[in-house]
Structure 1
Amino acid sequence: MTVNDQVAPAPIERIQQNVLARGERRLLTWICARLPAWVTPDLMTGVGMIGAAMIFAGYLLSNMGEQWLWLAIGGYAVQWFGDSTDGSLARFRKIERPRYGYFLDHSCDGLATTLVLTGIGLSPYVQLEVALVALTGYLLLSIHAFLRVRVLSEMKLSYLNAGPTELRFLLIGFTLAMLVLGSRGEGWFGKVSGFDIFTGFCGMVMIALFAHQTAVTVRRLAIEEPSRNAEWRVRD
């Protein structure tokens, strides 16, 4: 079989059921139609990583003063703009590079998430160990999404009607609570702050979602690919 005779991979179905999906899609289409030609998808990916670095720096520098949290909040806006526009721009201009874009985008997503949650853990508001629980949950869900692409040709982009954009709004609200409550958010439950409890709860929810979605996918695959031992028993 030559290269030209090989069967093309099945197209990936994007499953996006988050609350803001339709409005965000219209906004991104409007933005992409107005971006100058010199703005490329790779450039927007770089903008997204700059936003992630701003978020990390804002949380880290909040040890010197809570006003630095505004840098993190601004970073979320920059990160959304870059991360949401890179793939949208490629699809709008019909210049997609499926393997290259998939690999680069999700590699940067993993690094950006690590920067955000590590930054939260290095701030004076959340213990690093608790932030790492949330990071573990997010990365487990990411692994599940990547595995679904391989076995089902589906990219699941949202859980519980929430996707990356809703999560950014949640984190912005969380950061504003840090600004408003300050030290009053600490010591509510002894050495564990209310911020710790919220972060840890979110992490445990994501881990539970990973376990549930894994079980659902395994059941679906078991039906689509029945055991060969079962086939032999039927023949006997």
Structure 2
Amino acid sequence: MTTTPAAGAPTRIQQNILARGERRLLNWICPRLPAWVTPDQLTTLGFLGAVIVASGYMLSWIDEEWLGLCLAGYIVNWFGDSLDGSLARWRRIERPSYGYFLDHSVDAIGTLLMIGAIGASPYMRLDVAFMAVIGYFLLSIHTFLAAKVIGEFRLSYLAGGPTELRLMLMAMTVLMPIVGTGRVLGSGFSAFDLFAIVVASILVTLYILQSVATARMLRARGR
């Protein structure tokens, strides 16, 4: 659900690569959903997708074929998370403050589950996975603060948004049984650890740069 607070609703900024195509797809799906489907049910479905993803990574200790469950989970997570707010707006039954609060609260837990489970799998260290989670949460915090203080709710950074992130994680999951769990050059880190460290570094850097730029702008405006 990508809703914003009712009072002085911020301007939504979404410039990710797949934004236009995804919006057309969501607009096509919304009128075709049964009348009994509600936004809250879709939010629950999105969270269920996160649980499925986490289960697949944990079960990969038993057999790498369980990683296929993760791929299905990402699709379920996208469907629920992308359509809950879209359906509410399509039917004009928005509850902006409630939706905003519930959506991002559930998203935070879902993200922690999915990325944390990657760190609990054979393919990535838990501490490295948490570095990526911290970077993601820092950038999310900046987004929520900016929505309040400058009236802009940014849904994408560097032409990437939640959908692109899911696709990246799905591609990484496909590569897991191919690349394996081997350590790179005796470093103690797998290839997936190094990838996550790079991603975490980018997220933290974006948080710092965006925070500094926003603080300077607010100071220049005397706010």
Relative to the length of structure 1, the TM-score reads 0.90
2:59 to 52, 55, 61: 61
What SS class does the counterpart of residue 14 from structure 1 fall into? strand
Kindly state the Cα deviation for residue 188 of structure 1 after the two structures are TM-superposed. Answer: 1.9
Instruction: Tell me if the contact between 2:10 and 2:148 (Cα under 8 Å) persists in the aligned partners.
Output: no
Write the letter of the residue equivalent to 1:48.
G
Kindly state the Cα deviation for residue 18 of structure 1 after the two structures are TM-superposed. Answer: 0.2
Ranges of 4+ aligned residues in structure 1 off by more than 4 Å: none
Q: C-alpha separation between the residues in 1 aligned to 2:56 and 2:165? A: 18
Write the letter of the residue equivalent to 1:216.
A
Larger radius of gyration: 1
Relative contact order (C-alpha < 8 Å, sep 6+): which is higher? 2
CA offsets 1:100-136 (integer angstroms, 9 cap, x no match): 0000000011011100110000000000000000000
Q: C-alpha separation between the residues in 2 aligned to 1:113 and 1:60? A: 15
Q: C-alpha separation between the residues in 1 aligned to 2:52 and 2:183? A: 28
CA offsets 1:8-57 (integer angstroms, 9 cap, x no match): 83122110000000000000000001001100000000000000000111
Name the counterpart of 2:33: 35
Q: C-alpha separation between the residues in 2 aligned to 1:87 and 1:189? A: 46
Name the counterpart of 2:163: 165
What SS class does the counterpart of residue 155 from structure 1 fall into? strand
What SS class does the counterpart of residue 198 from structure 1 fall into? helix
Kindly state the Cα deviation for residue 179 of structure 1 after the two structures are TM-superposed. Answer: 2.3
Q: C-alpha separation between the residues in 1 aligned to 2:198 and 2:180? A: 20
Aligned-pair identity (%): 52
Name the counterpart of 1:14: 12
2:43 to 37, 42, 45: 45
Q: Which runs of 5+ in 1 are unaligned?
A: 1-7, 227-236
Kindly state the Cα deviation for residue 200 of structure 1 after the two structures are TM-superposed. Answer: 1.1
Kindly state the Cα deviation for residue 223 of structure 1 after the two structures are TM-superposed. Answer: 1.4
Q: C-alpha separation between the residues in 2 aligned to 1:201 and 1:211? A: 15
Q: C-alpha separation between the residues in 1 aligned to 2:175 and 2:136? A: 22
Write the letter of the residue equivalent to 1:210.
Y
Kindly state the Cα deviation for residue 198 of structure 1 after the two structures are TM-superposed. Answer: 0.3
Q: C-alpha separation between the residues in 1 aligned to 2:17 and 2:73? A: 22
Pair 1:140 & 2:135 matched: no
What SS class does the counterpart of residue 180 from structure 2 fall into? helix
Name the counterpart of 2:194: 197
Relative to the length of structure 2, the TM-score reads 0.95
Q: C-alpha separation between the residues in 2 aligned to 1:140 and 1:173? A: 24
Write the letter of the residue equivalent to 2:184.
W
Pair 1:80 & 2:78 matched: yes
What SS class does the counterpart of residue 12 from structure 2 fall into? strand
Q: C-alpha separation between the residues in 2 aligned to 1:91 and 1:112? A: 23
Name the counterpart of 2:203: 206
What SS class does the counterpart of residue 183 from structure 2 fall into? coil
Q: Which runs of 5+ in 2 are unaligned?
A: 1-5
